[in-house]
Amino acid sequence: MTRERMMGEKLFYLSHLHPEGEMKVTLVLEPRSNISSGGSPLSPSAVSHSDSTSSTQSLSHGGAPELLVGLSYNATTGRLSVEMIKGSHFRNLAVNRAPDTYGKLFLLNSVGQEMSRCKTSIRRGQPNPVYKETFVFQVALFQLSDVTLMISVYNRRTMKRKEMIGWIALGQNSSGEEEQDHWEEMKETKGQQICRWHTLLES
């Protein structure tokens, strides 16, 4: 009764609206749940391409960069699953083109020491990249309230240079109320994936 499931989404720019009168528009929603299925007409590359082409205008928009993250925890196996699903409003501040981005995930213990790390593959030239990558961390139930998950998104400018687009932290040292609420909801749902958008903080 309490679960919500995203059936589809579509980006619609308000600049397309007529200043006067009413306007009826038919929007074809893109089914997020079918993104990873092989039989879907929407392949990951197709979704990535449509996101990047239709959203090049977001380079000039002032929206804050956001990240959609899915969390689930299995107390029996001690597996913390973190899915980096997609980003929004990622900008390349140096040049006026979409950035090449990737995510880094760090799991820290109660005193801030690194327990584990991993990173996504690079998404090239997309202001709204689709990652759909899941990472599993081994965390015992008694440790779950004492760990912090840090997620950082980077723009790779050259082979050696990178700049941070933003970051969030979830768990013991959450970076905000939304992040703390997401973590607590994950613990309460006992194995079900909980997906939430988070606004990235500047480095």
The closest of 154, 175, 173 to 163, measured between CA atoms, is: 154
Own/partner pairs for 75-79, CB < 8 Å, 24+ apart?
75/141, 75/190, 75/191, 78/138, 78/139, 78/140, 78/141, 79/136, 79/137, 79/138, 79/139
Nearest by Cα to 73 from 17, 122, 141: 141
C-alpha to C-alpha distance for 123 and 186, rounded to whole angstroms:
27
CATH topology of domain 64-197: Immunoglobulin-like (2.60.40)
Q: Angle at CA 193, nearest 5°, toward 196 and 11?
A: 40
What are 85-116's pLDDT values in tens digits? 999 988 866 667 788 999 999 999 999 999 99
How do residues 34-56 score in pLDDT, each as one tens digit?
Answer: 433 333 344 343 333 334 433 44
Residue 156 has pLDDT above 60, yes or no: yes
